[in-house]
């Protein structure tokens, strides 16, 4: 299934042809498409230890390039494991994009647990450790430059119209309030920090009650630390948010900006992916519900 106009269809047969050309040692390995919430890449497990990452479109190919540049730099520096780069593939066999083989990380993405509503509070500690180690990376030389990381007002442009389209299913007054409070908050004025910038449930793994892995560095960038506080609403519940804030600190302004960013991301995901019945729609819905619940207590 394609999710965006212009997507290139990709399946296990396409990967088999690429392996025959570029990694003949793996040409006979068992292949299994990995079902999940991702939208920009097709993932195919290769044997027991590898996973192929195949962009669906040109922007996804650019994001994969960012990931391949930064995974080796970060793989032993963050609090959560990252996949290791095992092979950088090139276009071929009728497929137009560069692709990659990464090491397989055991665990399950957070989507089912988050949607079930039984989010372990200890995940706030794991997220705080992750964000702290990301912020500690020196980005003074050759920083990654992605589309995210900037000010809330730019990110929120056009979001009001999307919220109008969601008025039949959400407390839009509260969501607009979240956007307004974020736009009115003092802007970030410090040195930029390294941001994953997409800490949503599908990009985090868990096992036995703890977070155990981080996926997809394609949105990696630098900028306002508020961008990596959005899992407070996308992943955690109210007690978890309180714990995360206690651990990471920060003033009211950074948390207001973060809540606004989570609102924009939730609204766009719900609006865009509902027609596809894609898991991101339900996750976006849930994030918006968390934002509205926060503001209904104020």
Going from the N-terminus, what domains does the chain have, and what CATH number goes with each?
A: 12-103 (3.30.200.20), 108-296 (3.90.1200.10)
CB count, 10 Å around CB of 285?
Answer: 20
Whole-Å CA distances, 298 to 65, 174, 253: 43, 11, 16
In Å, how far from its chain's centre is CA 295? 24
Going by C-alpha positions, the residue among 188, 14, 180, 221 that lies closest to residue 97 is 14
By the 8 A CB rule, do 201 and 110 touch?
yes
pLDDT of res. 149: 96
Give the CA angle between residues 51, 55, 58 to the nearest 5°. 160
What local confidence, expressed as pLDDT, does residue 272 receive? 87
Q: List strand residue ranges (DSSP E) for 104-183, in order.
A: 108-109
- pLDDT reported for residue 298: 61
pLDDT of residue 44: 97
Rounded-to-integer distance, Cα 187 and Cα 85, Å: 37
Q: Is 58 helix (H, G, I), strand (E, B) or coil?
A: helix
- The model's pLDDT over 135-149, given as tens digits with 9 standing for 90+, comes to 999 999 999 999 999
Measured in whole angstroms, the distance separating CA 212 from the mean position of its chain's CA atoms is 15
How high is the pLDDT of residue 3? 52
* pLDDT at residue 5, as a whole number: 58
pLDDT, residue 291, reads 97
Give the per-residue pLDDT at 240: 98
Report pLDDT for 57.
95
pLDDT digit string, tens, across residues 160-171: 889 988 887 778
**Which residue ranges of the chain lie beneath pLDDT 50?**
1
In contact, 108 and 20? CB cutoff 8 Å: no
Rounded Cα–Cα distance for residues 116 and 237 (Å): 12
Residue 55: beta bridge partners?
41
Say what the pLDDT of residue 37 is: 80
């Amino acid at each position: 299934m394609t999710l965006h106009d212009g997507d290139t269809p990709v399946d296990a047969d396409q990967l088999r042809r690429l392996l025959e050309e570029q990694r003949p040692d793996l040409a006979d390995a068992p292949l299994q498409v990995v079902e999940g919430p991702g939208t920009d890449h097709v993932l195919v497990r290769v044997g027991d230890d590898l996973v192929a990452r195949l962009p669906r479109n040109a922007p996804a190919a650019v994001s994969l390039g960012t990931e391949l540049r930064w995974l080796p730099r970060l793989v032993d520096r963050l609090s959560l494991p990252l996949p290791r780069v095992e092979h950088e593939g090139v276009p071929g066999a009728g497929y137009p994009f560069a692709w990659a083989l990464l090491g397989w990380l055991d665990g399950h993405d957070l989507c089912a647990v988050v949607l079930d509503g039984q989010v372990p509070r200890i995940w706030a500690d794991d997220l705080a450790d992750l964000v702290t180690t990301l912020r500690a990376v020196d980005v003074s030389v050759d920083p990654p430059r992605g589309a995210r990381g900037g000010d809330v007002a730019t990110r929120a442009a056009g979001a009001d119209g999307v919220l109008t389209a969601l008025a039949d299913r959400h407390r839009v007054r509260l969501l607009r309030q979240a956007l307004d409070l974020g736009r009115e908050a003092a802007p970030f004025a410090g040195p930029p920090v390294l941001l994953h910038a997409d800490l949503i449930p599908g990009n985090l793994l868990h096992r036995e009650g703890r977070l155990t892995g981080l996926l997809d560095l394609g949105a990696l960038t630098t900028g306002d630390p508020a961008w990596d506080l959005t899992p407070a609403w996308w992943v955690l519940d109210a007690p978890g948010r309180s714990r995360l804030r206690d651990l990471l600190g920060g003033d009211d302004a950074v948390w207001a900006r973060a809540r606004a960013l989570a609102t924009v991301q939730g609204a766009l995901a719900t609006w865009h992916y509902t027609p596809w019945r894609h898991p991101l729609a339900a996750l976006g819905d849930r994030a918006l519900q968390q934002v509205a619940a926060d503001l209904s207590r104020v």
